[in-house]
Chains A and B, each alone.
Chain A
């Protein structure tokens, strides 16, 4: 009697497991935009061509490659490399946290034959450098840092310029003069993005203010939703963000009928069919292809790369349906300045929230200093520390 009970309940548990997991990954979901299906890896025995790959590339991401955000943008770049150089084999690892786990992952990739590694998250820099020192024959490309070595280089886009541009759009579209910025953590670059956003807005609308809230995590969806709500409750009518995935912020804004401006990946636009203004995304495919080709040809050299819209590393999304022509024209005018190289960001005098002069008249904030910023410009409401 008891055994029967055990067996029947075990059966229930198995059925439960079946039902639960059957809702699971039986097939890849509808792909977003142009991104390739999500299969993260090619197992060692499944090589696309008969011959061994001309290059094995390892890529690690701090999050998931279909987050419609930073990680997806990086992944899309790698997929472009695959398209451009079909004999390449790509090994990907998602949700690799920025610490010793990253080192283990990279070591494993090297064991599986990787000779070019893309460490895509800010926090992968040191682990990558540690591994690089032990494998001088493997090339490392890190995104968003500053370290360089004989086999280690750094690349990134120029978000401050796109945020300035977006600030212009926001400043023109806002009616309450309150802009919102949902940020993950008070890192130097994040503060710089906020500052350039506000400066861009101020350039067309001197009364515009930017309110910043920090969620404390790169990807805490419930917090992002609540933060967006809190900003909107304060009267904000345009929101943008610096978190891993813009999806939640944008969806929340859309549900409240508030304008949104995307970041990280152009895939974000689909979340806001009505109230989308514009957005910027990373498009590193071309750059990455060049790097891979250089490694194959043996011509690779460590270069510190910061490339922006003009170089094809970042792209601007199309306008949303509610953006009037005058705004588009003004926006495009500034974009032209950007592409032409005549736009200078962070030109003094720049004053911070307390009134201290941070960039004196006649001076310009350097790239290096941008990364070390710990203050907000006047007009930003929020805690920089």
Chain B
């Protein structure tokens, strides 16, 4: 396996994993506030289709990105209405959100299948232009990928260095205590869900606008669930999420690399690698890291109303 191949896998991992990374961050915030959102697959799809449609209609990919973020935020607000205000079961509501997303995204995206959009320019990070091995076309990334670096810092800072982040985590540990301390758990959870939606929309925008430049039904292929697993893998910490996203993105790329190298394994079996990998990750870490989870994860806040 040449250096070119390895760099290729890394490059592909970055492209494939970016949408996953943003979604995982969103879910980390969610779960830190005590909410499990299994409907991210639906949120991703609706954001991807909306963003793509707007990018196609307006001719401007960046407006499409904004539209995707907004769509994601709104979808999550709907979810919030179910689990916060109506106090419905989080797992069931999440799955309902997923199906809702399947249908709505198909409806939104239908006229735009096959439409060509103006993609985003890809460029090499200015500082790296000097290093020959990293200056090939493999390492030309779009702006959403580069944005991930400052956003990592932003999320870390939000979560651990602001009052809002503190209140968020407090709600996730014990909403009643947080309430007694003067916070408004409902409002905080709504806000968190909205931010999660924005992030997920960003990830979806990368998938449909920046990377594949297309829309197709169900194009997210389970990323919404992988994200939930990656949250556990990264111990609810945004920086560790990067490793997870690269791992999964790399699994997809690795499988294709094996094919391109002529290795004699059926592509269908290779297809299962990312999901089995996720399962193994969950098995290996799911149990022992449970104590790192926010204490009130999944519990519906009953409140005093």
Which residues of chain A in 275-311 are interfacial with respect to chain B, using CB atoms and an 8 Å cutoff? none
Give Cα distance in the complex from A9 to B81, angstroms: 7
Q: Are A25 and B111 in contact (CB under 8 A)?
A: yes
| CB pair A23 B253 closer than 8 Å | no
Q: Is the CB–CB distance between A2 and B305 below 8 Å? A: yes
A21, B104: Cα distance in complex, Å:
8
Q: How far is the CA of A67 from the CA of B114 in the complex (A)?
A: 4
Residues of B within 8 A of A72 (CB): 114
Q: Are B212 and A24 in contact (CB under 8 A)?
A: no
In angstroms, Cα B267 to Cα A186, docked, is 10
Q: Which of B12, B111, B138 contacts A226 (CB 8 A)?
A: B12
Assess whether A38 is interfacial by the CB under 8 Å rule.
Answer: yes
Docked pose: A46 CA to B303 CA in angstroms: 57
Query: In the bound complex, do residue A221 and residue B216 qualify as a contact, i.e. CB atoms below 8 Å apart?
Result: yes
Q: Is A105 among interface residues, defined by CB-CB distance under 8 A?
A: no
Q: Please classify how large the interface on chain A is, using the bins under 10, 10 to 19, 20 to 34, 35 or more.
A: 35 or more
Among B67-75, B152-160, B229-237, B291-299, the stretch in contact with A: B67-75
Given contacts A229-B12, A234-B8, A256-B137, contact A213 B112 (CB under 8 A): no
**How many angstroms between the C-alpha atoms of A24 and B67 in the bound complex?**
12
Residue B34 at the A interface, CB < 8 A?
Answer: no
Give complex CA distance A223, B140 in Å. 19
Question: Is A271 an interface position by the 8 A CB rule?
Answer: yes
Interface pair A23/B260, CB less than 8 Å apart: no
Tell me the bound Cα distance from A127 to B220 in angstroms. 30
CB pair B271–A24 under 8 Å, yes or no, is no
- A216 and B267 contact, CB distance less than 8 A: yes
Q: Judge if A43 is at the interface, Cβ distance under 8 Å.
A: no
Are A32 and B116 in contact, with the CB atoms below 8 A? yes
Q: How far is the CB of B203 from chain A (nearest CB, A)?
A: 13
Contacts of B78 in A (CB 8 A): 13, 16
Is the CB of B182 closer than 8 A to any CB of chain A? no
Are A214 and B267 in contact, CB atoms less than 8 angstroms apart? yes
Interface positions of A from 1 to 56, Cβ below 8 Å from B: 2, 5-6, 9, 12-13, 16, 19-21, 23-25, 28-30, 32, 38
Interface residues of A in 89-112 (CB under 8 A from B): 95
| In the assembled complex, A211 has its CB within 8 A of some CB on chain B | yes
Known A-B contacts A25-B111, A230-B12, A251-B213; the reply to A222 vs B53 at CB < 8 A is no
Q: Mark A212-232, 1 if CB is under 8 A from B, else 0.
A: 111110011111111101111
A272 to chain B, nearest CB (A): 11
Q: Which residues of A contact B202 (CB under 8 A)?
A: none
CB of B108 within 8 A of CB of A21, answer yes
Q: Which chain B residue shows the least CB distance to A29?
A: B115
Chain B residue contacts of A223, Cβ below 8 A: 252, 256
Residue contact A9 to B85, C-beta cutoff 8 Å: yes
A64 CB-CB contact with B under 8 Å = yes
Residue interface mask B100-113, A partner, CB < 8 A = 1: 00001001101111
Contact of B253 with A229 in the complex, beta carbons under 8 Å: yes
A332 at the interface (CB under 8 A from B): no
A–B complex contacts, Cβ < 8 Å, 10 sampled: A12-B77, A20-B46, A23-B50, A24-B107, A32-B115, A64-B110, A186-B267, A233-B5, A234-B257, A383-B267
The 7 closest A-B pairs by CB, nearest first: A233-B8, A66-B114, A230-B256, A16-B74, A64-B113, A214-B267, A67-B114
Chain A residues with CB under 8 Å of chain B are 2, 5-6, 9, 12-13, 16, 19-21, 23-25, 28-30, 32, 38, 63-69, 72, 95, 180, 186, 211-216, 219-227, 229-235, 245, 247-248, 251-252, 255-258, 270-271, 381-383, 385
